[in-house]
A and B are shown apart, each in its own frame.
Chain A
Amino acid sequence: DIQMTQSPSSLSASVGDRVTITCRASQGISNYLAWYQQKPGKVPKLLIYAASTLQSGVPSRFSGSGSGTDFTLTISSLQPEDVATYYCQKYNSALLTFGGGTKVEIK
């Protein structure tokens, strides 16, 4: 089974900072990767699919990149409402797997 590893597991940054989260697949998955945001006590929300395509309605400060085994989610200017846990998910096959999550907090 392909494993998805996210790093860091948590981070603290200031409002306006550029934040980067990494997701690594144990085998190549082309660009079959999605990113989700889960705010505290809320339902997960799809942010990005196909590694870099922004879901409708998602602010443009969010971006995704990568292909193969290494992927990144970037928040260009961190906002207070971005406090959440972020998950990557691979979907190169019908057996889906989430990464362990990255908790983002405001410093």
Chain B
Amino acid sequence: QVQLVQSGAEVKKPGASVKVSCKASGYTFTSYGISWVRQAPGQGLEWMGWISAYNGNTNYAQKLQGRVTMTTDTSTSTAYMELRSLRSDDTAVYYCARAADFPYYYGMDVWGQGTTVTVSS
């Protein structure tokens, strides 16, 4: 079945970096992109960005520009999201989700289980 499996929970100190992985299975990885979405405790969903697994094109949310990098490894069907210069307000559950490349995008139809990232001194 189509699924996305994310890496485990992380605890980081302010100023550090975190890299979350998202391994896809059950579909042709390069036929879709991967979006990343985060959710702070008790808060709503925040779109972080998107990467095409076909050609590596990316789009990042303006507020995260310069701190976030999304990559893919097509040999292992894995997407990665790295967030640098972590702050306490980056504490959240981070989700990856499958999304068709633009202009064929229609929503995020398969989601990973989420990765909790805690930023604390």
Contacts and interface: CB of A to CB of B under 8 A. Distances in A.
Interface of A: 1, 34, 36, 38, 43-46, 49-50, 53, 55, 85, 87, 89, 91, 94-101
Contacts of A43: 95, 111-114
Contacts of A98: 37, 44-47
A46 B35 CA distance: 13
B55 to A, nearest CB: 13
Nearest to B59: A94
B35 A96 contact: yes
B106 A44 contact: no
B70 to A, nearest CB: 13
Given A87-B44, A97-B47, A98-B47, A34 B106 contact: yes
Candidate in A1, A34, A94, A98 with the most chain B CB atoms within 10 angstroms: A94
Contacts of A50: 106
Interface of B: 35, 37, 44-47, 50, 59, 61-62, 95, 97, 102, 105-109, 111-114
Contacts of A1: 62
Candidate in B37, B107, B111 with the most chain A CB atoms within 10 angstroms: B107
Nearest to B60: A95
A85 B44 CA distance: 9
Given A43-B113, A94-B50, A101 B108 contact: no
Contacts of A95: 59, 61-62
A49 B59 contact: no
22 contacts: A1-B62, A34-B107, A34-B108, A36-B45, A36-B107, A38-B45, A45-B111, A46-B107, A49-B106, A49-B107, A85-B44, A87-B45, A89-B47, A89-B107, A91-B107, A95-B59, A95-B61, A96-B35, A96-B47, A96-B50, A98-B45, A101-B45
A91 B112 CA distance: 20
